[in-house]
């Protein structure tokens, strides 16, 4: 049995940074690291456990016997235990056996910094490396041109376990299989990015990955870490960006996880009012503890550095920002100023965003934040939280609520569909139709649409047309792009068989063409976060439930005219005011026969007349298709 040798990867400077909450590459020090010491190969182990009396490494190399490979605690009061064990090789399974100073509590914990984990329900960590030869140099060099705020970002949100399944073997596709099937599909449909629901190791399938244990390990359900790198690599080679869901908001209390790690409240806040989430029955990080901040920010940097992620979508930010989130009176304590804001979280999120953008200025952070908390996507030097974008939850709720209404009643709810423009430029908004909208009895997006079969599909195409021409970036959950009928079920595949039917094929083609429209016309993205990029033509025609607006880019001559008809009534001579004379050319209609529409289209060229309308000197008559959206160039 090889004894543990004293060895350290930490310098005094590392320890100072760690204690200050400013060590953002902790994964290079803590965890398990294969290396050579004095000509001997083995593995260096290091774990943070300041309340431990003893820590030893147990694993398949020592028959999981405690005490045979004890680690030594550092002299500097950092609480880090470390040591080098000769002969340990890649693939070795291990855990940390921790005896606490608090009584005789002995716990067996997975490594918080493990690069690879056993497949649940097994819970051991696995010694691994990050060796991989990337082939995405072209993408990485030029990705600022794909991820910028003035670039098109149309995101396909994916749950890897249920996107498509191998029906013969009744299993999810592997990372390697997805690198073939998913990459070609996303390329075909024209999305610019994919967003993966959490792929970090998680113990409980029904959590969809939002309760993590292995923060530094891609889930082994679908393959090895290098297999996931291969998937990201293939997406990049196809010109597709990768956004990862990141969950710093809470973690589960599983025995092998972060909770009560060394017999003390190490990662979670010790006050139950700040450390326990009543909705999710989970634990909340102690954002005021510097070492925890180092852990979390290091984790974010890790996925950007070693897995070439192009962005992080931060889950449940609202639950982090407010001390009274989902809590009744008496269940929370105000901050030092008497307010409900969690000042430690605010400070942490600012540090996180500053670190990310300093080290990776060509990526984006995106906040899932459902309240009116100010300046979420404004720079920290202006007092903001520093995110690149924020989900526009209000738009999502108002729009889906509107489209559930029978068209005959929509004239009474015109303000519901136009209200988003009153605050559209207060943040850098992403418009989400996410997984949260197709579960728990909410129906699928198609299932929200009203009317007979033809009208339901027409409404869906109209909704997507409105979404893709509304200011902001876009996110669509998998299945919505072809009109999934049933709610999403994480245990089964999407309803791919529906693509044999014309209406569903039509929805998919419509989304494909909308993605192309969004990518190909700068007026739809160059000023998508600026009031300069949008102008109403007419928002007050509630009687006809019609919206007309202009989208603008950097060049005046490239502006687009968009008109939405929210009723089944065809308008053959509908006049709209226009900013200048010239001609209108229809470049998109959601009513195409190919999509399953009725085929109402406008002639190739519509002359603009010098006839005042809608407060403008010029105007033109157009045809509006039933439950349809049309887009014109004006030249």
Residue 612: partners with Cβ closer than 8 Å, 6 or more residues away: 577, 618, 619
Please state, in angstroms and rounded to a whole number, the distance separating the CA atoms of residues 540 and 548: 9
- Are 390 and 429 within 8 A, CB to CB? yes
- Are 143 and 241 within 8 A, CB to CB? yes
Q: Provide the angle, in degrees to the nearest 10, between the axes of the packed helices 225-237 and 175-189.
A: 20
Please state, in angstroms and rounded to a whole number, the distance separating the CA atoms of residues 622 and 599: 14
Catalytic residue of the set 368, 437, 526, 621: 368
SS3 432: strand
Catalytic residue of the set 268, 291, 315, 351: 315
Please state, in angstroms and rounded to a whole number, the distance separating the CA atoms of residues 487 and 567: 26
Q: Which helix (H) or strand (E) holds 455?
A: helix 453-469
> Among residues 180, 276, 178, which one has the least CA distance to residue 218?
178
> Among residues 358, 355, 327, 364, which one has the least CA distance to residue 342?
327
295-299: long-range contacts at Cβ-Cβ below 8 A with a sequence spacing of 24 or more? 295/26, 295/48, 295/112, 295/215, 295/267, 296/248, 296/348, 296/352, 297/24, 297/351, 297/352, 297/355, 298/23, 298/24, 298/25, 298/26, 298/27, 299/27, 299/215, 299/216, 299/246, 299/248
To 10 degrees, the CA torsion angle through 122, 126, 131, 134?
A: 20
Please state, in angstroms and rounded to a whole number, the distance separating the CA atoms of residues 411 and 566: 9
Please state, in angstroms and rounded to a whole number, the distance separating the CA atoms of residues 129 and 27: 12
Query: Is-catalytic flag, 315?
Result: yes
> Among residues 274, 275, 280, 283, which one has the least CA distance to residue 250?
283
DSSP 614: T
Residue 329: partners with Cβ closer than 8 Å, 6 or more residues away: none
Query: Is-catalytic flag, 12?
Result: no
Sign of CA dihedral 485, 488, 489, 490: positive
Q: Which two tokens stand for residue 144?
A: 């600022």
SS3 182: helix
Backbone torsions φ then ψ of 489, nearest 5 degrees: -125, 115
Rounded alpha-carbon distances, angstroms, from residue 300 to 152, 306, 403: 24, 10, 37
Region of residue 125 (phi > 0: left; psi between -120 and 50: alpha; otherwise: beta):
beta
User: Nearest 5 degrees, angle CA 292-CA 224-CA 185?
Assistant: 105
Please state, in angstroms and rounded to a whole number, the distance separating the CA atoms of residues 447 and 498: 14
SS3 324: coil
Please state, in angstroms and rounded to a whole number, the distance separating the CA atoms of residues 431 and 575: 29
Hey, which residues are catalytic here? Answer: 315, 368
């Amino acid at each position: 049995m090889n004894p543990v040798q004293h060895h350290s990867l930490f310098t005094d400077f590392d320890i100072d940074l760690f204690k200050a909450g400013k060590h953002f590459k902790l994964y290079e020090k803590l965890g398990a690291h294969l290396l050579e010491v004095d000509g001997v190969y083995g593995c260096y182990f290091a774990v943070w456990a300041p309340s431990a009396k003893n820590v030893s490494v147990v694993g398949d190399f020592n028959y999981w016997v405690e005490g045979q490979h004890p680690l030594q605690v550092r002299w500097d009061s950092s609480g880090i235990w470390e040591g080098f064990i000769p002969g340990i090789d890649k693939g070795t399974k291990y855990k940390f056996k921790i005896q606490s100073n608090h009584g005789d509590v002995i716990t067996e914990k997975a490594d918080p910094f493990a690069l690879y984990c056993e497949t649940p329900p097994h819970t051991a960590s696995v010694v691994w490396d990050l060796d991989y030869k990337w082939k995405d140099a072209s993408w990485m060099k030029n990705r600022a041109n794909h991820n910028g705020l003035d670039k098109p970002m149309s995101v396909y949100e994916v749950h890897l376990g249920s996107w498509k399944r191998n029906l013969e073997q009744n299993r999810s596709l592997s990372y390697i299989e997805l690198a073939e099937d998913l990459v070609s599909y996303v390329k075909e449909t024209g999305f610019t990015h994919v967003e993966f629901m959490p792929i970090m190791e998680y113990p409980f399938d029904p959590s969809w990955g939002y309760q993590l244990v292995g923060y530094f390990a891609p889930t082994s359900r679908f393959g090895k870490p290098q297999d996931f790198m291969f998937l990201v690599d293939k997406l990049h080679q196809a010109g597709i960006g990768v956004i990862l869901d990141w969950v710093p908001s809470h973690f589960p209390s599983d025995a092998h996880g972060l909770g009560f790690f060394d017999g003390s409240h190490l990662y979670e806040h010790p006050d139950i009012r700040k450390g326990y989430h009543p909705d999710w029955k989970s634990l909340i990080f102690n954002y005021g503890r510097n070492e925890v901040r180092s852990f979390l920010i290091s984790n974010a940097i890790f996925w950007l550095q070693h897995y070439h992620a192009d962005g992080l979508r931060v889950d449940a930010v609202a639950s982090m920002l407010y001390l009274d989130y989902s809590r009744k009176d008496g269940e929370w304590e105000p901050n030092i100023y008497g307010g409900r804001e969690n000042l430690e979280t605010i400070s942490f999120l600012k540090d996180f965003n500053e670190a990310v953008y300093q080290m990776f200025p060509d990526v984006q952070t995106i906040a899932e934040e459902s309240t009116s908390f100010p300046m979420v996507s404004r720079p920290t030097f202006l007092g903001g939280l520093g995110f690149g974008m924020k989900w526009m939850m209000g738009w999502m709720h108002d729009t889906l609520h509107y489209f559930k209404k029978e068209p005959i009643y929509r004239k009474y709810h015109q303000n519901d569909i136009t209200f988003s423009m009153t605050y559209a430029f207060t943040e850098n908004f992403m418009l989400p139709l996410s997984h949260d909208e197709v579960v728990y009895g909410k129906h699928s997006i198609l299932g929200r649409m009203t009317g007979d079969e033809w009208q339901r599909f027409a409404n869906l195409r109209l909704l997507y047309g409105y979404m893709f021409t509304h200011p902001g970036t876009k996110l669509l959950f998998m299945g919505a792009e072809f009109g999934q009928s049933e709610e999403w079920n994480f245990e089964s595949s999407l309803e791919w068989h529906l693509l044999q039917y014309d209406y569903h094929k039509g929805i998919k083609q419509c989304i494909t063409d909308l993605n192309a429209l969004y990518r190909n016309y700068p007026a739809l993205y160059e000023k998508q976060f600026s009031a300069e990029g949008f102008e109403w033509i007419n928002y007050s025609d509630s009687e006809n439930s019609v919206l007309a607006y202009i989208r603008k880019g950097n060049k005046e001559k490239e502006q687009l005219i968009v008109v939405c008809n929210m009723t089944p009534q065809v308008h053959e001579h509908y006049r709209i005011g226009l900013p200048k004379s010239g001609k209108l050319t229809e470049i998109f209609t959601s009513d195409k026969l190919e999509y399953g529409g009725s085929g109402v289209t406008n002639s190739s060229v519509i002359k603009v007349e010098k006839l005042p309308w809608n407060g403008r000197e010029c105007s033109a008559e157009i045809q509006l298709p039933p439950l349809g959206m049309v887009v014109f160039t004006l030249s």
